[in-house]
Amino acid sequence: MRIDTTLAGFSNGLLLAAILLYALAMLCYACDFAFARHRLMAGLTDAEQAGRRSDSALAEAAVPSLVAAGAGGGVPAVPAGPAVPASSAASVHPPAAAAPRRHASRWPAGFWLRLAFGLTCVGVTAHVAAIVTRGLAEHRTPWGNMYEFIAAFTCVAVLVLVAASIWQRAYYLGLFVLVPVVFGLGIDLTVLYTPAGSLVPALQSYWIAIHVTAMLVAIGLFIFGAVTTTLYLTAERSQRRVAAGRPSWSAGILQHLPGAAVLDRLSYRSILFAFPVWTFGVMAGAIWADHAWGRYWGWDPKETWSFITWVVYAMFLHARATAGWRGRRAAYIQLIGFGCLLFNVIGVNLWITGLHSYAGMS
C-alpha cells in the first residue's frame, strides 16, 4: 500500500507540537515550584503523608509513630526506635492527617500547576495524535523502527504521568518526568528521524502489535519508575543529611515533594505494573521469534539484553523483600535495571548487530 506522505508530514508536525507543549509545561511546573506557596509538603512525616496506608513498607513507617502516640495515651514510653525527629508531630495520629488528604481534590491546585497539567494533557493528546496519524499514513502499527518506538514509549511515560497525577495526586512529578521525555523526543526527531515507510517481511506480523506494544508500555512505566526512584534517592539522602544536622542542597526543591517513603512506594508500584508487562513482552517476543526465525530463544543481543533487564528487575523485586536491601540498595538496583533497559533500546540498536537490527539505522 502507498505511504501517505502528507499525513506523515502532519504527524511530524504534531510530534514537534507535542515537544513544544511539553517544554512549556515543564516551565510551568518549574514556576509552580518557584512561586506557589500552597501545599508545601515540608513538616509532614512520611507516615502522615501516607495516611493510613498499610503495605509492608509503610506499616514500618507508621507503627513506631503509633507506638509513640500510644505512649501519649498513658502507656509507659517505649523509645520508638530511632524514630523520626518529627514523631512528636505524629502523635496527631495518622487518621487525622489522612482525613483532609482523603477529601482532597484529584485535580491540581494553583494557577501554575493547573496550567502545567493542562499543557501536559494537550501535549500528550498531540503526541498520541502524532502516533496515530503516522500509523494511518503507513497503514501499519506505528512502531516499526527506532524513531517510532521512542516516540511511542515516551508517550506511554507521559500517559503514566498523567494517570499518576490524577490518581495519586503526583502532580509534583511533572517536571521530572517531562525532562527525560523532552530530551528523548528531541533526539528522536532530530538524530533518529526515519521517514514513514513499510516494514521488512520479518516484521509483517500481528505479533508486532502484541510484542512491541507490551515492550513499549513496560518501558514507559520503567521510565516513570526510574524517575521516581531517583527522586526517592535524593529525598532519602536529604532526609538523612538533615537528620544528621548537615546541609542538604536538595532540601529546597524537596519541600515540594512528598517524603522518601511515598516516592519509594510510587516507584515500586510502577515496577509492579511494568514487570509483568515486560515479562509478557519477552514471552510474546519468544513466540514471535519462533514464528519468524524458527527458534524461540537464540541469545540474539536484543534477546540477551531483555533477559538481563528482566533479571535485574527481578533482583530489584527480591531486594525489596530482603531485609537490609530494601530502600536505598533496592533503588540502586532498579536504576541499574533501567540502565540495562536503555542500553537495550539505544546501545544494542546502534552498536550491535543481530537479527533484531530493524532500528532503521544503517
**Would you put residue 75 in left (φ > 0), alpha (ψ -120 to 50) or beta?**
beta
Identified binder of ligand HEM from the candidate list 314, 335, 336, 355, rule CB under 6 A: 314
Q: Which residue is nearest to ligand HEM (CB)?
A: 321
Fill in the per-residue mask, 234 to 263: x = in contact with other proteins (CB under 8 A), - = not in contact.
Answer: --x--xx--x----------------xx--
The entry of ligand HEM, other proteins, none that residue 184 binds, CB within 5 to 8 Å by partner kind: none
Of 31-39, 111-119, 178-186, 316-324, which part binds other proteins (CB under 8 A)?
A: 316-324
Distance between CA atoms of residues 246 and 238, nearest Å: 9
Nine-digit cell at 77? 514510653
* Contact between 122 and other proteins per CB under 8 A: no
Distances (CA, A) of 153 to 24, 52, 82, 276: 20, 34, 42, 17
* Contact between 4 and other proteins per CB under 8 A: no
CA terminus-to-terminus distance, the chain? 24
Q: Which residues are CB-contacts of 83 (< 8 A; sequence separation ≥ 6)?
A: 64, 65, 68, 90
Torsion of CA 193, 21, 157, 312, to 10 degrees: 70
**Would you put residue 248 in left (φ > 0), alpha (ψ -120 to 50) or beta?**
beta
Of 72-80, 259-267, 284-292, 313-321, which part binds ligand HEM (CB under 6 A)?
A: 313-321
Distance between CA atoms of residues 49 and 60, nearest Å: 14
The length of the chain in residues reads 362
Identified binder of other proteins from the candidate list 34, 139, 293, 361, rule CB under 8 A: 293
Fill in the per-residue mask, 268 to 307: x = in contact with ligand HEM (CB under 6 A), - = not in contact.
Answer: ----------------------------------------
* Contact between 71 and ligand HEM per CB under 6 A: no
Site for other proteins in 206-225 (CB under 8 A): 207
Q: Which residues are at the interface with ligand HEM (CB under 6 A)? A: 314, 317-318, 321
